[in-house]
Amino acid sequence: MRRPLEMLIIDDDIEYFDSLDVQAKKLQIILTHIDNLEEAKLFLKSDKSRKISGVILDVVCRESKDQEVSKSNFITAAIDFFTREKPTLPLVILTGVPDRYEDLSELYKGTKHVYDKGESPDKMLLFLRKEALELNRTEIIDKYKDIFEIVEEFFNTETEDDLINCLGSLNTSDKTQIKNNLACIRRLLEKICIELYKKKPDWVDEENIIEGNVKVKAIIKRLRQSNHVDPHTNYFTRAIYAVSSDYGAHDGTQNRKQEGSPVSKYTVHAAAYALLDLFLWFKEVVND
């Protein structure tokens, strides 16, 4: 079962939102309601906005929380902001004035979809749902739903973005991207170590987590010696560290036993899926 889609609506009509929210939930869409652009911008900078995959804009609304009267220039400011800051998000425009529907439809013809508040919202919601499901980000999160639930609970937006970028480019054979993916996997391994230290400080020596300098090899050794990891997890963790360090953080030439760079997209696949297993292990131990 897909996880619900989350979308943002900026509209100062609470009665309309309440009605729309009921219909949206039937389509597994969770709406976040904000009644002005200023607070919407702040929301979009927070971790709470990480799952937003669509935007609904009322054509007449408030630009700031202190503005007492809604104005029609809101829509221009809002569209400019989303075009600049969130260009990939599906976006639709709402109007509660029937006479303006035709004018707005003509004005935004070919660029934005305009809907009338007086009509059933199903067409609008289905359009947003279809567009959101076609977003690469949404597809990846849905495919690895169990992993991203862990990331959402324990990690920040940067971690989520790194993981999405890595999983979205597993099939490339471009050597530069392969190196970037392995470097990303190394960073994610370090993030798991940092969060493990926060949740299980007696498992990770503080000296191995100093000012962002994560001594992964020492942490792995300590976990193994203290029997905090099973053989399966220990093996995968050491493998992830080795390949992501040699060919992600470095170029593989530091090891004199190796000639050239034997890594391929399949190496990235193996390291990435081992990393996903490590996320599962992390959740298990911190919840124990």
CATH number at residue 103: 3.40.50.2300
Residues 122 and 203 both lie in one domain:
no
pLDDT tens-digit readout, 90-106 = 999 988 776 676 777 77
pTM score of the predicted model: 0.75
Residues 279-287 have a mean pLDDT of 95
pLDDT tens-digit readout, 15-72 = 999 999 999 999 999 999 999 999 999 999 998 898 899 999 998 899 999 998 888 8
pLDDT mean across residues, the chain: 89
- Choose one of 76, 104, 138: the last residue of a domain: 138
Query: From the centroid of its chain, how far is CA 231?
Result: 31
Residue 248 has pLDDT above 50, yes or no: yes
Residues 175 and 230 both lie in one domain:
yes
Q: How far is CA 37 from CA 48, 49, 70, 93, 282, in A?
A: 16, 14, 11, 14, 38
pLDDT tens-digit readout, 212-240 = 689 999 999 999 999 999 998 999 899 99
pLDDT at position 148: 95
Q: Is 112 a member of any domain?
A: yes
pLDDT at position 33: 97
Task: Please tell me the distance from the alpha carbon of residue 5 to that of residue 2, in angstroms, as a whole number.
Answer: 9
Residues 121 and 168 both lie in one domain:
no
Q: What is the domain extent for residue 106?
A: 5-138
Q: Is 282 a member of any domain?
A: yes
Residues 173 and 215 both lie in one domain:
yes
Residues 141-151 have a mean pLDDT of 94
Q: State the Cα angle at 246 between 245 and 247, rounded to 5°.
A: 95
Residues 200 and 79 both lie in one domain:
no
Residue 72's contacts (CB-CB under 8 Å, 6 or more residues apart) are 59, 60
Residues 124 and 237 both lie in one domain:
no
Q: How confident is the model at residue 260 (pLDDT cuts 50, 70, 90)?
A: low
DSSP state of 72: T
Q: How confident is the model at residue 256 (pLDDT cuts 50, 70, 90)?
A: very low
3-state secondary structure of 261: coil
pLDDT at position 1: 57
Q: How many domains does the chain contain in total?
A: 2
Taking alpha carbons only, the member of 190, 212, 194 closest to residue 204 is 194
Residues 96 and 168 both lie in one domain:
no
Tokens matching residue 141: 């999160």
Q: How confident is the model at residue 259 (pLDDT cuts 50, 70, 90)?
A: low
Residues 179 and 119 both lie in one domain:
no
Q: How far is CA 198 from CA 56, 181, 209, 248, 252, in A?
A: 38, 26, 10, 26, 32
3-state helix, strand, coil in the chain (%, to 5): 60, 10, 30
Taking alpha carbons only, the member of 288, 165, 195, 183 closest to residue 246 is 183
